């Protein structure tokens, strides 16, 4: 049976790497995107390859339209197919600023990576997935957007990040409706407080809050928690749930008295 292929943006570290490992365990061949030089990500790529997966590294900043075209070109040339797109790459504000102090260039920088890039990458991938579906009725594909609880939870010192994730949440539903007729589901996964490079600077703050009962499940989220969720979606376990949001947040967003 032909192996399925997944493209994961930001797939060589943090949550993206957790997703890559989970999909590799499911038998997927992988195209992993990142911005570091390939020798720096070799320690990540090699264990995945040694497990029997075909893994390519697609280096490029997805905020650039030219880089997005190049990445998809690499996937088409090497694999000739794509079954799963995981829009995971994202950035935090360079400096956390109060909502009244955010500058336009700071706002634009976050939007370009967190919203514009996944929207237009999805646009290209969706068109290709439709082509594959028309060419073979047995083709299976899906798109999974990694957003954040920040899509609905306010942080006034990183408002541009919250807005970018809220925008990607709406994009998930838009593409779910657009692709519904082709039976290509689109999902949104919302991680909560997860151990990554992005949260390293606020570890002490959240260690204290978690110890005080911030979460229902009293621990940090791990990249593999999101990875397992994405694997279930890619596997088709929720094939009749297109457009839905899956929280991976330890109960953070449950309203409590």
Q: What is the CATH number of the domain that holds 203?
A: 3.40.50.720
Does residue 240 sit within a domain? yes
Q: What is the pLDDT of residue 25?
A: 97
Instruction: Indicate the average pLDDT of the chain.
Output: 97
Give the pLDDT score at 198.
85
pLDDT of residue 1: 57
- For position 202, what pLDDT does the model report? 87
Distances (CA, A) of 12 to 8, 105, 139, 252: 9, 27, 27, 26
* 254 assigned to some structural domain: no
Q: What is the pLDDT of residue 56?
A: 98
Task: Please tell me the distance from the alpha carbon of residue 106 to that of residue 186, in angstroms, as a whole number.
Answer: 29
The pLDDT, as a whole number, for residue 201 is 85
pLDDT (mean) for 202-207:
93
Report residue 2's pLDDT band, with 50, 70 and 90 as the boundaries.
Answer: confident
Whether the per-residue pLDDT at 155 is higher than 90: the answer is yes
Q: Look at residue 221 and tell me whether its pLDDT is greater than 60.
A: yes
Residue 64 CA from chain centroid, whole number: 17
CA gap 17, 226 in Å, rounded: 10
Look at residue 146 and give its three-state secondary structure.
Answer: strand
Is position 231 within any domain? yes
Evaluate whether residue 220 is within a structural domain: yes
In a domain, 87, yes or no: yes
Enclosing H/E stretch for 245: strand 245-248
Percent of the chain with pLDDT over 90: 96
Domain count, the chain: 1
| Residue 255 domain-assigned (yes or no) | no
* pLDDT above 60 (res 88): yes
Laid out side by side, the sheet with 55-59 consists of 55-59, 29-34, 5-8, 84-87, 142-146, 186-191, 245-248
pLDDT of 144 above 60: yes
Q: Tell which residue, 91, 95, 85, has the closest CA to residue 121.
A: 85
Q: Which of 64, 81, 80 is nearest to 9 (CA)?
A: 64
Q: State which residues form the domain around 155.
A: 5-248
Does residue 147 lie in a domain region? yes
Cα separation, 219 vs 7, whole angstroms: 29
Tell me, yes or no, whether 221 lies in a domain: yes
């Amino acid at each position: 049976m032909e192996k399925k292929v997944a493209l994961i943006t930001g797939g060589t570290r943090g949550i993206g790497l957790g997703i890559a490992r989970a999909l590799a365990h499911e038998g997927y061949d992988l195209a992993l995107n990142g911005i570091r030089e390939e020798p720096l990500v070799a320690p990540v790529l090699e264990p995945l390859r040694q497990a029997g997966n075909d893994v390519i590294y697609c280096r490029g900043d997805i905020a650039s339209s030219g880089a997005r075209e190049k990445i998809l070109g690499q996937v088409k040339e090497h694999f000739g197919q794509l079954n799963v797109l995981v829009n995971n790459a994202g950035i935090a504000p360079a400096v956390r600023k109060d909502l009244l102090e955010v500058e336009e260039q700071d706002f634009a920088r976050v939007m370009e990576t967190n919203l514009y890039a996944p929207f237009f990458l999805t646009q290209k991938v969706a068109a290709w997935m439709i082509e594959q579906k028309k060419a073979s009725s047995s083709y299976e594909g899906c798109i999974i957007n990694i957003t954040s609880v920040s899509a609905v939870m306010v942080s006034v010192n990183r408002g541009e990040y919250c807005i970018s994730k809220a925008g990607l949440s709406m994009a998930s539903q838009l593409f779910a409706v657009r692709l519904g007729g082709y039976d290509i589901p689109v999902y949104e996964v919302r991680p909560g407080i997860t151990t990554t490079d992005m949260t390293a600077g606020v570890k002490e703050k959240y260690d204290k809050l978690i110890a005080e009962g911030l979460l229902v499940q009293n621990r940090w989220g791990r990249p593999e928690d999101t990875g397992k969720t994405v694997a279930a979606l890619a596997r088709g376990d929720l094939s009749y749930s297109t457009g839905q949001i899956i929280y991976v947040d330890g109960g953070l967003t449950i309203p409590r008295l």
